[in-house]
Amino acid sequence: MSNMIQPGYGMRTYSSPTKARKARQTGTQGSSFMDMAARAGEKKNDVFEVNGTEATQQKAELSKAEEMQLFKKEFYEDLSKIICNPTVSNAAVNISDAAFQAMKDDPEYRAQVLALLQRDLGASYAPRNCSVLITVGTSLDQYRADSWPVGNDSEFHTRSEGSFWEQRMERHKKYMELAEEAAAKRRLMMKLRMNGGSVSAAELLMGLL
């Protein structure tokens, strides 16, 4: 036996390790705590790497979604610049996600679709006013334009629900009313300045309505 003295603890007796303990320490039987800890650490690293890969994939998927939203926004802006023919009272454009992806992957196809939209929305449907519904697919073969006379266009209103882009007669009428109201108020203010703040009661009433 060997003796060791530790301050504050007095004399303690320690025996030499036995062969059995030596065998366990060498790892010939079972696994040591250090081995298990090392393996646990490896497993943790594996999990972290997997989670990291998943996070990277999710980030990549999110980036693709953001890119598509930006593409749709730019396409919507270009579509909104198209001037509809006066005989087109209502218009709507349905575009599937697959069609958007096809246009995003092929700029030439995107340009062709915009040209067709310009043609069909700018065309005259005289002598009647019509509601026009355009459907865009993944190829030019899937592009189609349908029209119905106003007053007999219930199918248009049904099929255009949730469309990507639309211009309704009611919305345009409301816009024109607001624009005319603003113009009337501007004319009234201009006349007030020219006449030194004096206008008739009728003119004032018309400007406030």
pLDDT of residue 120: 97
Sorting pLDDT into bands at 50, 70 and 90, what band is 11? very low
Strands 130-136 and 88-95 turn out to be parallel
**Measured distance CA(111)–CA(153) in Å, rounded:** 29
**Measured distance CA(113)–CA(135) in Å, rounded:** 10
- The per-residue pLDDT for range 157-170, each reduced to its tens digit, is 899 988 888 876 55
Q: What percent of the chain has pLDDT over 70?
A: 58
Q: Between 5 and 35, whose confidence is greater?
A: 35
For the entire predicted model, the pTM comes to 0.53
Least confident of 64-73, 123-132, 157-166, 182-191: 182-191
Residue 89 makes CB contacts below 8 A (sequence gap 6+) with: 129, 130, 131, 150, 169
Residue 46: is its pLDDT beyond 50?
no
pLDDT of residue 166: 85
pLDDT of residue 85: 94
Q: Between 50 and 183, whose confidence is greater?
A: 183
pLDDT of residue 108: 98
Residue 208: is its pLDDT beyond 60?
no
The rounded Cα 202 to chain-centroid distance in angstroms is: 51
- The per-residue pLDDT for range 53-112, each reduced to its tens digit, is 555 555 556 688 899 999 999 999 999 999 999 999 999 999 999 999 999 999 999 999
